[in-house]
A and B are shown apart, each in its own frame.
Chain A
Amino acid sequence: MLLDVTDLRKTFPARTGLFGNVIDHVHAVDGVSFSIAEGRTLGLVGESGCGKSTVGRAILRLIEPSSGAIRFEGNDIVGLPADRMRELRRRMQIVFQDPYSSLNPRKRAGDIVAEPLLVHGIANAAERRDMTLAIFAKVGLQPRQMGLFPHQFSGGQRQRISIARALALGPRFIVADEPVSALDVSVQAQVINLLMDLQARDGLSYLFISHNLAVVEHVSHDVAVMYLGRIVEHTDKSTIFARPLHPYTKALMAAVPVADPSVRRDKAHVMGDVPSPIDRPKGCHFHPRCPLAEPRCRIEEPLLREVRPGHRVACHLAA
């Protein structure tokens, strides 16, 4: 496995008492485990506040995990000193949702993409320029655009610059955190196709974080669904979309509007809002919204267990 995440946890202090003592925690990520193989994409889905972005950032140690193990290419990277971690970041990168705020507005596109090479002391100026040109070509940007500033690009092109910057050091693994959510519909396809082409050509692995199930279904090999800090279901793409087992996964899928007016589905909508991650319901976190909840769901936390080979579900009722 290229990436193995075991029992990852991240808590943030939510409230502090009179003397600065922490009296409440947000369990943003609460015991998440998964792995991603070479050349594969794991889609991580869930609603806002479920912890999916925190997982992505914790894997790169952009925020420090509270506990758990993250093995990348066989090495546990939790607790690695900063210089070793910097070395590793050559091979693991991130692309953010918002290409407007993640690019320095005062730098030219060419310099933005070349910066990782400079930081890591790779090659001399002339070689860096050639490498940058090659990356520009790879992501479908024109060489003449190297001299432009981010505001001179459209949203889709800016996302190409972000991807180019992530690719500069030749990574094996990219966390893509809602990479097309801020883009216009007609432009989304360009970026999705680019990410998939790069994977086909270079064997990249992705953790693809998104709230958009249609996009996740399109790009992923495997899918994990998160709810209030935990993975509630995890299996291969075709199984999870054809035979979801967790009531939350089913509810999510039933809620997705389908772009086909001839399909009039009988909809049973899940009720209520996502509870606060500070004060999560006891037992199964989903039980207050679950149409199937039984008494034990209110008391006993369901563990994520393998109900079929390669299909993990955290539900007492899933068989």
Chain B
Amino acid sequence: MAPVLEVSGLSTVFHTRAGLVRAVQDVSFSVEAGETLAIVGESGCGKTMTALSLMRLIPSPPGEIVAGSVKVAGTDLLQLDEPAMRKMRGSQIAMIFQEPMTALNPLLTVGRQIAEMVSLHENVSRRAADARAVEMLRHVRIPAPERRAKEYPHQMSGGMRQRAMIAMALVCRPKVLIADEPTTALDVTIQAQVLELIGDLRRELGTAVVLITHDLGVVAETADRMIVMYAGRKVEEGTTQELFAHPNHPYLQGLLASVPKFGAGEGTRLREIPGIVPALNNLPQGCAFAPRCSAAVAKCQQAIPPLETKRPGHMAACWVS
């Protein structure tokens, strides 16, 4: 099957007073219909900037996408003018955020906002759009959707708002859904409900999902494939099964060993990754992870390691492993 989303060589920079910040460097990946790809990394690794670049929502200036292509069903979004791009957002590619209030308008009822999305992309009457909104709220399993559609976002709980935002994102059946830490602000029982919902909708609608998260538990439970980012670059890629079973890059190995395992019983000492994530305007010359890496050799300080196939279907960028 041909991928619905094909990202290749994406690079995004920010021109700041502190110098050029290379937020995303030469990132490539693809996602098929109905597939979930997780982008994993810590704060500052470039995962959210990658997502915003796909949506062309990078504030510019100071931000700038300097290279690459983002093809949705063959159309390169980076070549479109702004009106054409606006037509793509919501209908072809949509995004949900950690904090639903960043996406929801506090002054409009939830139903109206979803209906507006429909009116924007499809030639339907207001009444039909409103009906679609209620239908979509039902689809994301909001109880009493007719009543809820008339409520304002502040009248809803956090989990409910997250569902409303998902309804707004998916009402026009986009081919690609980008979910940026969609459950990070939610309680664990609500998180489980929302993750299950995203999974169900993906299967029903055949949406390709790009899930951005720092939570390895969420990745393990929801993603088919994953890429690991560090300091703006992709450092590892493969199926979720493969990467958890055979992490190749010392960074992923460290991450997996540093998280307490739920259900592990008697806790052994956690492995620490020393140091901190480097500043993106002051990256080391070679591998960005080298200063924190216990396996680093001289070469790691000198040159950036290329992505290589380490095992079948498993790429990593490391000189040593």
Contacts and interface: CB of A to CB of B under 8 A. Distances in A.
Answer whether A and B are interacting partners.
Answer: yes
Interface of A: 47-48, 154, 156-157, 184-190, 192-193, 196, 211, 213-215, 217-219, 238, 241-242, 251-263, 267, 269-271, 273-274
B15 interface: no
B57 interface: no
Interface in B246-275: 254-256, 258-267, 269-274
B272 to A, nearest CB: 5
Given A184-B42, A193-B269, A258-B221, A217 B260 contact: yes
A47 B260 CA distance: 19
Given A215-B260, A217-B262, A218-B270, A185 B255 contact: yes
A47 B189 CA distance: 8
B145 to A, nearest CB: 15
Contact of B260 (A187, A190, A214): A214
B46 interface: no
Contact of B276 (A156, A185, A215): A156
Contact of A267 (B192, B263, B276, B277): B192
Contact of A261 (B241, B255, B270, B273): B241
A312 B190 CA distance: 26
B298 interface: no
Interface in B163-219: 187-193, 195-196, 214-219
Contacts of A154: 276
A259 B258 contact: no
A47 B159 CA distance: 13
A188 B258 contact: yes
Contacts of A186: 42, 254-255, 258, 272-273, 277
29 contacts: A48-B187, A186-B254, A188-B258, A189-B258, A189-B271, A193-B269, A193-B272, A196-B269, A213-B188, A217-B260, A217-B262, A217-B264, A242-B265, A254-B192, A256-B188, A256-B217, A257-B192, A257-B217, A258-B262, A259-B216, A259-B217, A259-B219, A259-B261, A261-B241, A262-B241, A267-B196, A269-B189, A269-B192, A269-B193
Contacts of B273: 186-187, 189
A259 B187 contact: no
A154 to B, nearest CB: 4
B261 A214 contact: yes
B77 interface: no
Contacts of B218: 257
A139 to B, nearest CB: 14
Given A192-B270, A218-B260, A255 B276 contact: no
Chain A's interface: helix, strand, loop or mixed, by majority?
helix
B42 A185 contact: yes
Nearest to A263: B220
Nearest to A192: B270
B48 interface: no
A257 B183 CA distance: 11
A186 B254 CA distance: 8
Contact of A274 (B187, B195, B241, B263): B187
The 10 closest A-B pairs by CB, nearest first: A257-B217, A218-B260, A214-B262, A47-B187, A255-B192, A189-B270, A189-B258, A186-B273, A218-B267, A259-B216
A273 B157 contact: yes
Contacts of B190: 47, 273
A258 B220 contact: yes
Contacts of B270: 189, 192-193, 218
B160 interface: yes
B105 interface: no
B240 interface: yes
Nearest to B215: A257
Nearest to B224: A261
A217 B216 contact: no
Given A184-B277, A273-B159, A261 B240 contact: yes
B263 A259 contact: no
Contacts of A213: 188, 262
A219 B267 contact: yes
B18 to A, nearest CB: 14
A217 to B, nearest CB: 6
Given A47-B188, A252-B188, 18 more contacts: A47-B187, A48-B187, A185-B215, A185-B255, A189-B258, A189-B273, A213-B188, A213-B262, A218-B270, A251-B189, A257-B218, A257-B222, A258-B220, A258-B261, A260-B244, A261-B240, A269-B189, A273-B157
